[in-house]
């Protein structure tokens, strides 16, 4: 779907916020890219990463994890 949409009309100024962990970040290369992030970049999707070691920068997502654990 993404390849089809991008080829026809392009993505409208999209960015994805992620942490630096797998599958979004890779500490084994200097740029921190994974196959997933390279694919997003090829689709002209901007990567917005939170600072390493600061989960509070992505608080709504971290809250979701807290609520899921509470329910289990």
Digit-by-digit pLDDT tens for the chain (72 residues) are 455 555 566 656 777 877 777 777 766 666 778 888 888 888 888 888 777 767 777 777 778 878 889 988
* Model-wide pTM > 0.75: no
Q: Is residue 22 within 8 Å of 34, Cβ to Cβ?
A: yes
Distance CA 21, CA 54 (A): 12
Residue-range definition of the domain harbouring residue 41: 2-71
Total of domains in the chain? 1
Number of other CB atoms surrounding residue 18 within 10 Å: 18
């Amino acid at each position: 779907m993404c390849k089809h949409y991008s080829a026809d009309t392009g993505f409208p100024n999209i960015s994805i916020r992620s942490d630096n962990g797998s599958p979004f970040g890779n500490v084994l290369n200097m740029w921190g890219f994974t196959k997933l992030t390279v694919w997003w970049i090829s689709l002209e999707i901007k990567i917005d990463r939170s600072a390493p070691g600061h989960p509070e920068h992505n608080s709504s997502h971290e809250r979701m994890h807290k609520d899921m654990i509470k329910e289990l």
